[in-house]
Structure 1
Amino acid sequence: MHLSQTVVRTEHASRYLQQLCKHWSHKFSVDFDPHKGRVPFSDTAEVTFAADDAGLTMTLSVADPSQQQRMQDVVADHLKRFAFREELDIVWID
């Protein structure tokens, strides 16, 4: 599996975690609470979330490295839609 991670500084990490997980729960078997979440997009790709007072940590795991950039973009774009009131710095580290 290929991992990439980003830590997004925000005071609303738990809110965004829950919004993202609820959004994707219509298509995927999502598991979450206010502090952590997991979205299995497929057998070969998933994202996990961890929220604390400092921000939202997102860890993306993909089996196929050619999927990595696209999945990073999907997750980041969805977060930006929910966080449209603030400017978030989303930098993935492989």
Structure 2
Amino acid sequence: MLSSRADVATATPERYAKQLVFHLGRRLEWHVDGDTSTADIAGSTAVVRVAAAAVVLEAHAPDAESLERVQHVLGSHLERFGQRQELVVSWVAG
């Protein structure tokens, strides 16, 4: 299983995490446990977590193509929602 993570710094992590999960919830079923939300995306796993000053994104997938798909879904939406704050999603293999 391949994994990657992005810690996206923001003063309002709760807002962006909630917005991302709500928006993607139209197509995905999310499981929420406190500050952590998890969803299955075609055999892969997406995780959105609220940290002290960041939204933490995690992607777990069986292959590189699936990992890229999860990264794209999470990252592109969060960057679009955070344009005014110039949020940048940078993935690190993990």
With the length of structure 2 as denominator, give the TM-score of the two structures: 0.85
**AA in 2 matched with 1:79:** L
Paired residue secondary structure (2:65): helix
Alpha-carbon distance in 2 for matches of 1:48, 1:18 = 12
The 1:41/1:60 distance shift into structure 2, 3 A limit, reads same
Give the distance between the partners of 1:29 and 1:46, measured in 2 at CA.
11
Which of structure 1's runs of 4+ aligned residues deviate more than 3 A? none
Q: Which amino acid aligns with 2:63?
A: D
> What is the aligned partner in structure 1 of residue 72 from structure 2?
73
- Backbone CA RMSD of aligned residues: 1.6
- Are the equivalent residues in 1 in contact too, given 2:79–2:89 (CA < 8 A)? no
Match of 2:14 in 1: 14
In the TM superposition, residue 89 of structure 1 has moved relative to its aligned partner by 2.8
Aligned length: 93
For 2:85, the equivalent position in structure 1 comes to: 86
Task: Identify the residue that residue 46 of structure 2 maps to in structure 1.
Answer: 47
What residue in structure 2 maps to residue 29 of structure 1?
Answer: 29
Q: Which amino acid aligns with 1:7?
A: D
C-alpha deviation, 1:49, in angstroms: 1.4
The alpha carbon displacement at 1:82 in A equals: 1.2
Counterpart Cα distance in 1 of 2:88 and 2:79? 10
Task: Write the distance in 2 (CA, Å) between the matches of 1:31 and 1:17.
Answer: 13
Residue identity over aligned pairs, in percent, reads 25
2:2 is matched with: 2
